[in-house]
Amino acid sequence: MAANSSTGSATEPPGLETQWREIDNLNQQQLRAGDSWYLLDKRWYDQWKEYVHTGDQNSSSYPGKIDNTELYEDLDSYHLKERLTENEDFVLVPAEAWHKLLSWYDMMDDQPPLERKVVDLPSTVKVEVYPVEVYLCLSSNLESTVSARFSRVDKIHAIHQKIRQHFDVSETAESRLWMRSTDTSSERLRNLNMTVLDTCLSSGMTVIMEIRNADGTWPTSRPQIMRNSADEDSYQGPPGVCGLTNLGNTCFMNSALQCLSNTPPLTEYFLKNSYLEELNFTNPLGMKGEIAEAYADVIKQMWSGRHYSVVPRVFKTKVGHFASQFLGYQQHDSQELLSFLLDGLHEDLNRVKKKEYIELRDADGRPDQEVAEEAWHNHLRRNDSVIVDTFHGLFKSTLVCPECNKVSVTFDPFCYLSVPLPVSKERVMEVFYVSLDPTAKPTQYRLIVPKAGRVIDLCAALSQATGIPPNQMAVADVFNHRFYRIYQTDEFLSCILDRDDIFDGEEVVMAIYMRERSHYRDYGSGSNSYGTSLFGHPLLMSVPRAQCTREDLYQLLLKRLAPSSEGEERAEEEESSSEPDRGSSTEEGQSACGSTDTNSQDATDGDQSAGAEPSGKEEEDEDEDEEEEEPASCAQANKRLPGRRHYTERRKKALFTMQAVNSNGTTERGMGEADGTQPYIAIDWDPDMKKKYYNENEAEKYIKHQSMDVPHQQTIVQLQECIELFTTVETLEEENPWYCPTCKKHQLATKILDLWSLPEVLIIHLKRFSYTKYSREKLDTIVEFPLRDLDFSGFLLKKTVNSTEPPCRYDLIAVSNHYGGLRDGHYTSYARNKDNGQWYYFDDSKVTYAREEQITSAAYLLFYQRQDKIRHPTIPPPIPSSTQPENHISSQTRDGMDGAASCVSMETD
């Protein structure tokens, strides 16, 4: 079945199996720099795969034209949405595969193809989904800018030439470029042979060209936009109270850096230049000292007291060079960045120049103290750095074989604690309930359902709120004006989005699509029918079999559409005010149910598929054609009315016509619909009739049920409960069994982790992001954590044996926060300055004062320092108002941040 288009560009595709084989083979191609690949909507691609795998050319899963609508920010600029994820929002296919699919299925009108180039970046070759889009201007007119896109492998010289060409700057004119990352920061682009990637030029930045004056001088020593940067030369503020410029989705990095910057022992190590003597340039596991040097540069700038905000471009570039997952400017996990950075700093500063091989020994019944000391000693023989000194502690790991009861005890070092959060067994879902009552608007409900439940559980929950029996409900996923999927009651809820539609109904359930016909017939596509396009919200209708005639259906649909249609009254009024012409009536003067006067020839258009021209056949043939177009479930009822057209008087104007269609809303009925398994009906509106009598704004209105106003009561737990959960006995998963040396086979052993010794600075990672085979989610559990006196004495196996050993009480020094959901969000941080003891809130380049009672946050990472190592200044020195930069440091509070001074709550937005 070829895909029709208004341009007629689609060709007859090969068989379904051949289609799949050709595309699948092409998708195996390796990425090569310079090649073109194309973005394709994941939903459309999945439907295409389902279609070709059914082996039926008439399958109801026919995908229709390629439709990338969901990938665009809007349909005017066709800019790609931000933060789209491969294999979730889109798939990438090579050029040859794209052109084949395009020739077989065509593409939605006016949509441009999403072509992207393969680029060769350090450590990886990848498709550049988001090229860098920057603004170009001249220093003489900063308001007149033009946007341009560049690849990250393009050289700055290409940008230089683009500015010359667009602003008509002579090739002989001497010029220089500046890069503006914020309104307060600019940097000279000196080396035109550097790449966009190496200069950390990112989307949203501005490149400014400055042209030398005729007298040999430059218009300014710096562009005017550097006014605030120039002020930094005389600025003297509290060391460490410094923002970090967001280079483009780098808030995750900024948040982690601010927490580490306010970790006293590590920062003092770099400020005192202790790192210079310990740089390890030969460690094969390290980065030749480059990560440590780049980090040192950032810390020194932040603690110089001379900057409102630092631009960490060099550091970002170094991270991308050595960890390709952080290349580009997509959002990442701050904990993953922190893990990489701590490991990178450790290896770059490892005092062990040559690591010896050490064979690990099991406890074999030896005392814990002996085994622990041996494990720590062996760890230091291979790993000895400021990171180990500051952040490393020791676990005791106990494994028990379920078959032979073999007990294995080892002691392992750790750099941070990743503690689980209690996982709720319930899920909050927001759904739209669409009643069969034509006067009732759709209603939005917030329901609580079992997280591992099925669709029937969702219907049961809605039944409690509506009183409608669950067996009279149908759950559907509406996408692109049609039913993307109608769920079965035994399907798991994990496959349903949080916002889906639920319809009530019984008897014959029909799916109703809204379509608008074009003004002109599509003669060029091989037929003389009208082209149609879907719009609005589809409906599910329950119809008694006795009312399955066209006339009855028409009346039922009129009632169903009553809230959004001005009705037939107005159409009848307009008709009565004009003289009818029975010999040459138009489509507007015909019945949707074929009950027009047979003395006129206007019956055909109202009953033909999508408005076909009269064929000139005998009346008997016309009756046969008409019945063939009826919904399968209505055909039997209408057979009882032969010759009905002869006995029906001409009636008032019809607002729309009806047509049996397949599940995609096209006029070609699939075999599945023909036998009545799931009838699909299209309501076809003439554009003029739709404009007069159908109110789209009214049709989109809905009611919020009172359940939407009741906030979901989130679970509140104490941080200590999470730590207890971390030390709870668990059984290993099948994917990660333990090899029992006694049984000589892998076993699903029981495992327990205990804390043996803790570091000076303890990082606690709250595992808010949950990943399973069936779902991914961010846990919004509220966790209360203390600012002071976090006591680990009850968790440590190693008890204090003398007064020389450090205490196990900790105070909070920094928090990394995450706001938002899985695929989007924002990172910020709170931190206590080591010099003045004042708390600050860091939001990229913006820094504000924070009181302890304000630290109610969406905490993701907690930094605690052992009490015996903390300095407690008496009174934090205030910042003189004369030197305080505007919008940089203030004593303002954040809305909704009430909390206790000694214990704060954190939750996600």
CB 827 within 8 A of CB 254: yes
What is the pLDDT averaged over residues 388-394?
Answer: 95
What single letter denotes the amino acid at residue 252? F
Question: 125-129, 566-570, 856-860: lowest mean pLDDT where?
Answer: 566-570
Q: What is the pLDDT of residue 182?
A: 64
Distance between CA atoms of residues 188 and 225, nearest Å: 12
Identify the weakest region by mean pLDDT among 609-618, 659-668, 687-696, 781-790.
609-618
Q: What is the DSSP letter of 709?
A: G
Q: Estimate to the nearest angstrom the gap between the alpha carbon of 875 and the chain centroid.
A: 44
pLDDT, tens digit, for every residue of 422-433?
Answer: 777 777 888 888
129-143, 175-189, 336-350, 804-818 — which is least confidently predicted?
Answer: 175-189
DSSP code of residue 423: P
As assigned by CATH, the class of the 426-521+530-560+659-663+678-708 domain is: alpha beta
Whole-angstrom distance, CA of residue 98 vs CA of residue 635 = 42
Share of the chain above pLDDT 90, in %: 25
Measure Cα distances from 273 to 54, 292, 345, 780, 840 in Å.
Answer: 67, 11, 14, 42, 26
Residue 876 backbone phi and psi in degrees, to 5: -65, 130
Contact 210, 219 (CB under 8 A): yes
Across all residues in the chain, what is the average pLDDT? 77
Query: Do the Cβ atoms of 655 and 571 come closer than 8 Å?
Result: yes
Question: What's residue 97's pLDDT?
Answer: 95
Two domains, one topology: 251-423+715-799+807-871 and 426-521+530-560+659-663+678-708: no
- Taking the C-alpha atoms of residue 666 and residue 156, their distance in angstroms, rounded to an integer, is 50
pLDDT tens sequence across 698-742 = 777 888 887 887 766 667 788 888 888 888 888 888 778 889 888
Radius of gyration of the chain (CA): 34
**Domain regions of the chain by residue span:** 16-122, 132-211, 251-423+715-799+807-871, 426-521+530-560+659-663+678-708
Give the SS3 label for residue 815. strand
Residue of higher predicted confidence among 10 and 727: 727
Q: How confident is the model at residue 389 (pLDDT cuts 50, 70, 90)?
A: very high
Answer whether residue 896 shows pLDDT above 60: no
Q: Name the 3-class secondary structure at 658.
A: strand
Can you tell me which residue has the tokens 């008694």? Answer: 544
- Are the C-beta atoms of residues 304 and 283 closer than 8 Å to each other? no
Mean pLDDT of 686-707: 82
The predicted structure's pLDDT at residue 775: 56
- Reference 247, options 179, 333, 344; nearest CA is 179
Contacts of 757 (CB under 8 A, 6+ apart): 372, 376, 393, 394, 796, 798
Structure token pair of residue 908: 């996600």
pLDDT at res. 767: 86
Output the pLDDT for position 848. 92
Question: Catalytic site residue 826?
Answer: yes
Q: 308: pLDDT confidence band, cut at 50, 70 and 90? A: confident
- pLDDT at site 902: 34
Q: What would the mean pLDDT of 455-461 be, rounded to a whole number?
A: 89
Provide the pLDDT for residue 623. 41
Q: Does domain 251-423+715-799+807-871 have CATH number 3.90.70.10?
A: yes
Cα distance between residue 409 and residue 363, in whole Å = 5
Cβ atoms < 10 Å from Cβ of 12: 9
How high is the pLDDT of residue 481? 76
Q: CA geometry: angle at 217 spanning 211 and 218, to 5°?
A: 40
According to the model, what pLDDT value does residue 725 have? 85
Q: Are 731 and 741 in contact (CB under 8 A)?
A: no
Higher pLDDT: 473 or 635? It is 473
Q: Each residue of 604-641: pLDDT tens digit?
A: 333 333 333 333 334 444 444 443 344 444 444 344 43
Most confident of 199-213, 553-567, 622-636: 199-213
- The helix/strand/coil state of 80 is strand
Please tell me which residue in 160, 705, 818, 826 is annotated as part of the active site. 826
Tell me the pLDDT tens digit for each residue of 780-835. 778 888 999 998 888 888 755 555 556 689 999 999 988 877 666 788 999 999 99
| Residue 894 pLDDT > 70 | no
pLDDT of res. 863: 96
Q: Where are the alpha helices (DSSP H) in 354-439?
A: 368-382, 386-391
Query: Residue 337 and residue 342: Cα distance in Å, rounded?
Result: 9
Is it the case that residue 7 has pLDDT exceeding 80?
no
Strand, helix or coil for residue 332: coil
**Which token pair is 207?**
């490149």
The single residue listed with the structure tokens 């989007």 is 824
* C-alpha distances in Å from residue 713, one per residue of 424, 427, 493, 716, 900: 12, 12, 21, 9, 20
Q: How sure is the predictor about 183, in pLDDT bands with cuts at 50, 70 and 90?
A: low
The predicted pLDDT at position 175 comes to: 87
Placement of tokens 């599940």 in the chain: 663
The confidence score (pLDDT) of residue 45 equals 94
pLDDT digits (tens, 9 = 90+) for 52-67: 887 676 667 788 899 9
| Per-residue model confidence as pLDDT tens digits over 845-856 | 899 999 888 886
Please give the pLDDT value at position 62.
85
What CA–CA distance (Å, rounded) separates 398 from 751? Answer: 6
Q: Which of 787, 902, 892, 901 is nearest to 847 (CA)?
A: 892
Do 393 and 410 contact (CB within 8 A), yes or no? no
What is the per-residue pLDDT across 476-511, written as a single tens digit (0 to 9) for each?
877 777 777 778 888 877 666 555 566 665 566 788
Angle, CA 509 vertex, CA 507 and CA 512 arms, to 5°: 150
Contact indicator for 186, 178 with CB cutoff of 8 Å:
yes
Those residues with Cβ within 8 angstroms of residue 658's Cβ, 6 or more apart along the chain or in another chain: 550, 553, 554, 557, 592, 593, 631, 681, 682, 683, 684
298-307 pLDDT, tens digit per residue, is 998 899 888 8
**What is the number of helices (H) and of strands (E) in the chain?**
22, 41
Nearest to 765 by CA among 859, 866, 906, 867: 859
Residue 805: its pLDDT value, please? Answer: 59
Cβ-contact 611, 684 below 8 angstroms: yes
Q: What are the tokens at 243?
A: 């923002």
Q: Which of 251, 459, 722, 740 is catalytic?
A: 251
CA quadruple 295, 297, 299, 302: dihedral sign: negative
> What local confidence, expressed as pLDDT, does residue 224 receive?
41
877: Cβ–Cβ under 8 A, 6 or more apart, which residues?
238, 836
> Which two three-digit tokens encode residue 337?
């960045």
Please give the pLDDT value at position 468. 86
Average pLDDT over residues 131-146: 91
Q: Which range, of 102-116, 338-352, 439-453, 598-612, averages the lowest pLDDT?
A: 598-612
- What CATH number matches the domain at 16-122, 3.30.70.270, 3.40.50.300, 3.40.950.10, 3.30.2230.10? 3.30.2230.10
- The CATH number assigned to the domain with range 132-211 reads 3.10.20.90
Higher-confidence position of 226 and 526? 526
Task: Tell me the CA end-to-end span of the chain in Å, nearest whole number.
Answer: 48
Catalytic residue check, 404 = no
Q: What percentage of the chain has pLDDT greater than the value 70?
A: 74
Kindly report the length of the chain: 909
- pTM for this entry: 0.56
- The more confident residue out of 367 and 228 is 367
Q: Is it the case that residue 209 has pLDDT exceeding 90?
A: yes
Q: Return the pLDDT at 522.
A: 52
Q: What is the predicted pLDDT for the residue at 439?
A: 72
- In angstroms, rounded to a whole number, what is the distance separating the alpha carbons of residues 86 and 97? 17
Do residues 588 and 570 touch, judged by C-beta distance below 8 A? no
C-alpha dist (Å) from residue 38 to 4, 23, 43, 92, 352: 22, 13, 15, 5, 48
Q: What is the pLDDT of residue 254?
A: 95
pLDDT of residue 413: 94
C-alpha 390/C-alpha 864 separation (Å) is 11
Instruction: Flag whether pLDDT at 900 surpasses 60.
Output: no
Neighbours of 705 (CB within 10 A): 18
Res. 655: pLDDT tops 60: yes
Query: What pLDDT sits at residue 387?
Result: 96
Q: Does residue 873 or residue 92 have the better pLDDT?
A: 92
Total Cβ atoms within 10 A of residue 639: 10
Q: Across residues 572-591, what is the average pLDDT?
A: 42
